Structure 1
Amino acid sequence: MTEVTSDEVKESLRAAVPTQTIGGTNIAAGIYECQRILAQYTGGDIKNTRILLHSDGEGTVDNSIEQIISEGVILDTVLFGQGGFLADRAGETGGQQYFASDERGGVGLLAFYESTALRTCEAENEDALLNNDLILIIAGELTYQGRVYFDVTIGLNTKMVFQYDARVEISISTNLQVTLSEDVISLTTIVTIEGQLEQFLDYTITKEDPDTEVSVILTVTSSPVPGIQPIVVNNRLNSNNIDFSASSELIGYMGVFQGYSPVLQLAVFTVLEDPSGSLTRIQYYDDGTGKDSVANDGIYTGFLPPHLIGGGSSGKFYGLSIDIQGEGLLPGLGVVGRRKKRCVGCNSLGNVTRSGSGGVIVIDNWVQLNDTTPPEKITDLTVLAVSEDNGKVTLAWTAPGEDLNMGRVSGYEFGVGAEVSIDAMINLASELILSDVSTFLVEAGSPLEMQVNAGAITPAMIGLPESANISTYYFRIRTYDSSNNYANWSNPVSASYVDPAVIAVLYGPTTTTTNQPTEITTKTSSLTIILICVGLGGFLALAVGLAMCLYSFNSKSKLKDRRSYRQASPHVTFYGSAYNNDHYYSMPQEPFSFQHDHRRGNHQVFNNAVYY
């Protein structure tokens, strides 16, 4: 072994590295030598030590892997070629693996090296890899200004490593003690910052020659703050080995927790690098859409359908990297809103950033497949409003994606009918749609609204005779993608008008109604006079008798009016798990509104909308 004690020794070792491959590799001999050195430094106990193996995967291993497994040694592997089998063997030892392509290997390698070096047996003692970025400073630009964010759990004794392909100058903006160490041979600058950083740190990269293009790889690590539980990220896939077929989707799960509390509202991504170096960015969601089973449980889920898995028949190793960013929130009173939700009463952890290697997947028998993944079904279609003067209905929903909850759809279909059944609906005529449908072709998760001229719908437009008396109309929506894969129809909603007099008879006057029937006031005054004139016993008997008579009269009246209401006064109904038994009423002229709960038998007045 040669100890590196100077730049001259480092350069001599660099020159000794062969630039061409000749023959095979005795991987087993290298592993056995590593075991010997580890035993020398640890006194013989090499359990939980780590070997980092770089190879193209081709060569002989004998029983070396089995031997290090039996001794508790962890093997991390970096693969530089498409042959071999070491990706599987690293997992057997509890290690990680990385595939380094020629196009982008440097960025991922630094992240993998940091991940290997930082990993300990206890997550709360691990330093965090915050950033692993490729920065391109184009010709004509002299400087690049960047910022590194720190959440409340991290920021102690931070290290920044800059690697570049042309000489640059690094400056850091902080009042803490900063040490810069530059290696002019490897074109690397290491910055260490002692003490506790809070919220963010600014830095500047300055080129020597503004007319050149410079690439900089920045890796940032930081230690956890004592006494505060760290944010822990756990990443796993549905499979690391995929024998390619039409059902060969890649599903990833990313758990982000502080202790037992999920960290919410983050932007979580995995970057898949195929054998050619092409990158596919996969977003993970924790909102119950797509492949995510439960919203806001701290487990973010992403997927890549088979038609989006690129590469080619000659390659099979794919590298993965992790990118997490955004303000992290701990659960509070709850999460409200549609898919893009806001957290009520949640505690902020600050801007959370995490990077790292996501491992390697192996794909065999790759072929280019057609797109068979439809957009996601819309499940939150609602009626926001019904205009009382012209019959305009405002519908609202959350945009689905090209592939479930990813991307943007290519088109919409709108169904309308006099019945809730899909079979009873026909396509809504374009002239009845008062919104620009092209504005609905947006990224998945965007909130959308549309106005429909429901007042202009005739029975003939929905396939019924003109003589039909229809006043309630049901709506559904579905989308399709660029390959004409259609989503299922959305949950149904319905819209219609209600005569205010009917509501007044059924549920009595509300605080927003000022004109009360004269006869009610008269009866109340007569009853008051009678009560004054009778004795206590007569008062009780009379009160019970009158109450029974009034109850019987009101029950019959309400039953009669309810039957008329069902026949002549249609309503707006919200369907689906979030809106069961909710009704929206819009009344002409001067509508009043109230809330009535069937189960509790009470109601509440509020502005221009009725939910019961």
Structure 2
Amino acid sequence: MDPRVVLWLWMLLSSTCSGIKLEGNGHTDILVAISSAVPQDNRIIDKIKVLKADNKDALGDEIIFLTDGEATDNINDCAPTAIQSGAIIHTLALGPSAAKELQEMADKTDGKFIIATDDITSNLLVDAFASLTIPTGDYTKEPVQLESTGERTADWFNGTVSVDSTVGNKTSFLIIYELIAPTAYIQTPSGSNYSKADMSGDPSAKTLTLKIPGTAESGDWKYSILSGRLQSMTITVTSQAARSDVPPIIVKTHVNQQLISGSKPVIVFAEVSQNYRPVINAEVKATLEPEKGTMKQLELLDNGAGADAFKNDGIYSRYFTKLEKGRISLKVRVKNKDGQSRFTLHRKSGALYVPGYVVDDKVELNPPKPPVPEQPLVEGNFSRTATGESFQVTITNAPIYPPNKITDLNAEIQKNMVLLIWTAPGEDLDQGPAKSYEIRWSDDIEMLRLNFSNSSLVNTSAVSPKEAGSVERHSFNMTIENGTTLFFALRSEDNDDAISEISNIAQASKILPAPNPPGISNPGLNLTVIIISVCVAVIVVCLIVAVTAWAVKRRKRVDA
């Protein structure tokens, strides 16, 4: 018998904490045990025994383990047995006092580790449960989070969320408030309004919920929430696929490592796709919130430079360098930037394009690199939010990183001018501007690769590095013989004198048409002269024939 996929919630909370409703988040068979008043609520082993009852083991079953660290229970007493049970354990750390063993428990059982701060406006606890929905393999039946944001105000809290044509079923607006129920209005794209009277309220949970009947109208929905007094409020919008045959646009996010020791850079990833088709040209912003400290925002890019491996593959990424010791949560927001988002028909392969090759000391050029076909994003405006697994930084001081390696250097030769184009690196990896560039060239690729510092140097004194991610262009003149192939590479330096790795090697060839044969100064003009001459000759011949025929006829009449 296959393992029964069951999602359990087990909460080790202080007695002052209240319960949390999970209705509508796609969870099934949920057991909630709250506070020390519940018998043996600190015995995760007993819960695993219940999971084992269906098929004699807990292998493949899933547990959500939430604690704020304020209870007297000792996680170490149950962690070893829980890890060995075979269950997948997702751990949620609510507040800075939660035990450090939570991350180990999640790591060793292939679960997720997520932190939620005490700041209500971050909405991290709601986001955490939304991200832990059991996957069914059918995205048309799974909830999609369209918006999750918050604000602390005594005035209006306004915003817009886009409902695209791929979603709309089971759409709900959840408002959570800190003190008193606010006045709330939700406006549809066509101008109809929902008010507080249309919402269901739960004073004990401090929530207002609006469930849209049927399929929600596509377009921009506007919300206006009047607080009435200074308090924190959040709004969460979820929906499901509008049609069973059209999967929605989805977002997945993660970092490349969960325990940050500073030995290698941290990279934040977000994958945007629909039915495995990459979505490109979207606006993707990551929010990284430490338990203590300042929230950081990072724009993720899909430009094939810096942390991003391939351009326009729907995977957006960026280095994260502003590390602070402690645990850090991750959330991304995705929007259709100025209506520019597109589908690509397939992901690019990892094979590099080779512009040409040399045969018998002659350069043979390959056909131009074919473009990746794109399709318009017919869904129009869309918005998505996704929560990734949290990670922990163990170092006190962030490392000093050099500029990132330039990977997209391109070279062209136009007569006796060389044009180089690349994406600007940063001061620290792909953050900020670098200080300077060092560009070198050679007619021997091995020389440039193995002995970069001894290759010919290009004067870059007039080049001022731009902000990371910008397009850099530099041209210079040099005498180049026809048929010559040259190779170029560069590296950058930051204000701490840290030097980047050497870039990819770009090659360019000067191939001009062969000179005209002697005596032919203008082949096109000579061809025209020949054509005209032939035409004149034909006309003359025709004229002679006509005159001769006329003369013969006239003589015959005279003789007669």
Separation in 1 of the partners of 2:136 and 2:47? 21
Superposed CA deviations along residues 509-539 of structure 1, whole A, max 9, x for unmatched, are 9xxx9x8676555556667899999xxxxxx
Instruction: Give the 5 Å matches for 1:121-160.
Output: 121-124=136-139, 125-137=141-153, 142-160=155-173
Alignment partner of 2:408: what SS?
coil
Is 2:433 aligned against 1:402?
Answer: no
Partner of 1:169: 183
Partner of 1:204: 224
Instruction: Give the 5 Å matches for 1:201-600.
Output: 201-208=221-228, 213-227=230-244, 228-242=246-260, 244-245=261-262, 247-305=263-321, 308-311=322-325, 315=326, 317-326=327-336, 328-332=341-345, 344-364=374-394, 366-377=395-406, 379-381=408-410, 397-404=422-429, 406-413=430-437, 423-428=455-460, 430=462, 441-442=466-467, 444-448=468-472, 479-487=492-500, 488=502, 505=516, 521-522=528-529
CA shift, 1:369, in A, is 4.5
Partner of 2:210: 191
| Aligned 8 A contact 2:305 2:408 in 1 | no
Sequence identity (%): 22
> Residue type matched to 1:199 in 2?
G
Distance 1:66 1:123, change over 3 A: farther
Alignment partner of 1:271: what SS?
strand
CA shift, 1:190, in A, is 2.1
Q: TM-score, length-normalised on structure 2?
A: 0.65
| Aligned 8 A contact 2:91 2:102 in 1 | no
CA shift, 1:400, in A, is 2.9
Alignment partner of 2:302: what SS?
coil
Alignment partner of 1:350: what SS?
coil
| Aligned 8 A contact 1:283 1:302 in 2 | yes
Alignment partner of 1:29: what SS?
coil
Separation in 2 of the partners of 1:290 and 1:495? 27
Alignment partner of 2:324: what SS?
coil
Q: Which runs of 5+ in 1 are unaligned?
A: 1-12, 18-22, 336-340, 431-436, 460-471, 534-612
Separation in 1 of the partners of 2:287 and 2:42? 34
Distance 1:522 1:130, change over 3 A: closer
Separation in 1 of the partners of 2:487 and 2:130? 57
Distance 1:239 1:429, change over 3 A: closer
Separation in 2 of the partners of 1:262 and 1:274? 30
Is 2:103 aligned against 1:87?
Answer: yes
Higher helix residue share: 1
Alignment partner of 2:184: what SS?
strand
Separation in 2 of the partners of 1:441 and 1:359? 33
> Residue type matched to 1:192 in 2?
K
Distance 1:123 1:59, change over 3 A: farther
Separation in 2 of the partners of 1:68 and 1:318? 24
| Aligned 8 A contact 2:167 2:241 in 1 | yes
Partner of 1:112: 128
CA shift, 1:193, in A, is 1.7
Superposed CA deviations along residues 234-258 of structure 1, whole A, max 9, x for unmatched, are 444433234x24x232234433332
Alignment partner of 1:483: what SS?
coil
How many equivalent pairs are there?
459
Separation in 2 of the partners of 1:348 and 1:302? 28
Q: TM-score, length-normalised on structure 1?
A: 0.60
Distance 1:332 1:75, change over 3 A: closer
Separation in 2 of the partners of 1:16 and 1:132? 22
Partner of 1:590: none
Distance 1:383 1:287, change over 3 A: same
Distance 1:251 1:449, change over 3 A: closer
> Residue type matched to 2:131 in 1?
S
> Residue type matched to 2:200 in 1?
S
CA shift, 1:202, in A, is 0.8
Partner of 1:181: 200
| Aligned 8 A contact 1:153 1:225 in 2 | yes
Distance 1:191 1:28, change over 3 A: closer
Distance 1:506 1:60, change over 3 A: farther
Distance 1:494 1:429, change over 3 A: farther
Distance 1:298 1:379, change over 3 A: closer
Alignment partner of 1:152: what SS?
coil
Q: Which runs of 5+ in 2 are unaligned?
A: 1-14, 20-35, 349-370, 480-484, 541-560
Which of 97, 104, 126 aligns to 2:113? It is 97
| Aligned 8 A contact 1:318 1:360 in 2 | yes
> Residue type matched to 1:203 in 2?
Y
Separation in 1 of the partners of 2:275 and 2:518? 51
| Aligned 8 A contact 1:28 1:62 in 2 | no
Distance 1:385 1:88, change over 3 A: same
CA shift, 1:112, in A, is 0.9
Is 2:86 aligned against 1:78?
Answer: no
Distance 1:428 1:223, change over 3 A: closer
Distance 1:173 1:519, change over 3 A: closer
Distance 1:250 1:303, change over 3 A: same
Distance 1:158 1:268, change over 3 A: same
Distance 1:38 1:427, change over 3 A: same
Distance 1:412 1:102, change over 3 A: same
Distance 1:397 1:71, change over 3 A: closer
Distance 1:474 1:520, change over 3 A: same
Instruction: Give the 5 Å matches for 1:13-32.
Output: 14=16, 29-32=42-45
